[in-house]
Amino acid sequence: MALRVPKSAYPQLFKEGYKNLQGVEEAVIRNIQAIHELSEIVRTSFGPNGRNKMVINHLEKLFVTNDAATIIRELEVIHPAAKLVVMASQQQEQEIGDATNFVIILAGGLLQKAEYLLRMGLHPSEIVQGYELASNKALEILEGFGVETVTDLKSKDSLFRAVRPVIAAKQYGNEELLSNLVIEAALIVMPKNPATFNVDNIRVVKIMGSSIHESKVVKGMVFGREPEGVVTKALKAKIGVFTCSLDTAQTETKGTVLIHNAQEMMNFTKGEEQHMEKIFKELADAGINVVVTGSGIGDLALHYLNRFNIMAIKDLRHLRKWAIVISLKPSKSAETGSRSLGKDSKAIHETFRKNSHWYHLYVTEHFLLHRNVTIENENSKTSTIVIRGATQNLLDDIERAIDDGVNIVKAVTRDGRLVPGAGATEMELTKRLLSFGEVTPGINQHSIKSFAEALEVFPRTLAENAGLDATHILSKLYAAHHQDDSGVIGVDIESETEDCILDSVKAGILDSLAAKSWALKFATDAALTVLRVDQIIMSKPAGGPKPPQQNSNWDED
Q: What is the pLDDT of residues 420-474, one digit of tens each?
A: 888 888 888 888 898 888 888 888 888 898 999 899 888 888 888 888 888 888 8
pLDDT score at 27: 77
CA-based nearest residue to 504, from 447, 459, 535: 459
How does DSSP classify residue 325?
A: B
Is the pLDDT at 256 greater than 80? The verdict is: no
Same domain? 358 vs 229 = yes
How does DSSP classify residue 78?
A: -
Return the percent helix, strand and coil in the chain, to nearest 5. Answer: 45, 15, 35
In a domain, 323, yes or no: yes
CA-based nearest residue to 394, from 200, 174, 74, 90: 174
Residue 319 sits in which domain range? Answer: 225-371
Distance CA 93, CA 95 (A): 6
Q: How far is CA 329 from CA 196, 202, 258, 310, 320, in A?
A: 35, 32, 33, 16, 20
The confidence band for 524, taking pLDDT boundaries of 50, 70 and 90, is: very high
Q: How far is CA 253 from CA 243, 249, 265, in A?
A: 24, 12, 21
Q: What is the pLDDT of residues 133-164, one digit of tens each?
A: 999 999 988 888 888 888 878 888 888 888 88
The burial of 525, by beta-carbon neighbours within 10 Å (0-12 exposed, 13-18 middle, 19 or more buried), is given as middle
| Alpha helix positions (H), 121-249 | 124-143, 156-168, 175-189
pLDDT score at 46: 87
Helix (H) / strand (E) containing 376: strand 373-376
In a domain, 290, yes or no: yes
Q: Tell me, what amino acid is at 63?
A: F
The structural domain count of the chain equals 2
CA-based nearest residue to 420, from 481, 354, 341: 481
Same domain? 242 vs 367 = yes
Q: What are the beta bridge partners of residue 389?
A: 208, 209
Same domain? 430 vs 343 = no
In a domain, 200, yes or no: no
- Sign of the dihedral through C-alpha 507, 508, 514, 516: negative
User: What count of other Cβ atoms lies within 10 Å of the Cβ of residue 230?
Assistant: 11
Q: Which residue has the higher pLDDT, 84 or 219?
A: 84
Q: What is the pLDDT of residues 157-209, one digit of tens each?
A: 888 888 888 888 888 888 888 999 999 888 888 888 888 888 888 888 888 87
How does DSSP classify residue 218?
A: E
In a domain, 168, yes or no: no
In a domain, 5, yes or no: no
Same domain? 19 vs 137 = yes
Is residue 361 a contact partner of residue 374, using CB atoms and an 8 Å limit?
Answer: no
In a domain, 272, yes or no: yes
Same domain? 255 vs 323 = yes
* CATH number, residue 268: 3.50.7.10
Q: What is the pLDDT of residues 12-33, one digit of tens each?
A: 666 666 666 776 777 788 888 8
Residues 6+ apart with CB under 8 A from 448: 130, 131, 133, 134, 137, 433, 436, 437, 440
User: What count of other Cβ atoms lies within 10 Å of the Cβ of residue 540?
Assistant: 11
- Sign of the dihedral through C-alpha 132, 137, 140, 146: negative
> Considering 371, 388, 406, which residue would you say is the last residue of a domain?
371
In a domain, 180, yes or no: no
The confidence band for 358, taking pLDDT boundaries of 50, 70 and 90, is: very low
The count of C-alpha atoms lying within 13 angstroms of the C-alpha of 249, restricted to the half-sphere facing its C-beta, is 6
Is residue 247 a contact partner of residue 297, using CB atoms and an 8 Å limit?
Answer: yes
Mean pLDDT of 337-346: 39
* CATH number, residue 439: 1.10.560.10
Same domain? 135 vs 246 = no
Helix (H) / strand (E) containing 244: none
Same domain? 236 vs 365 = yes
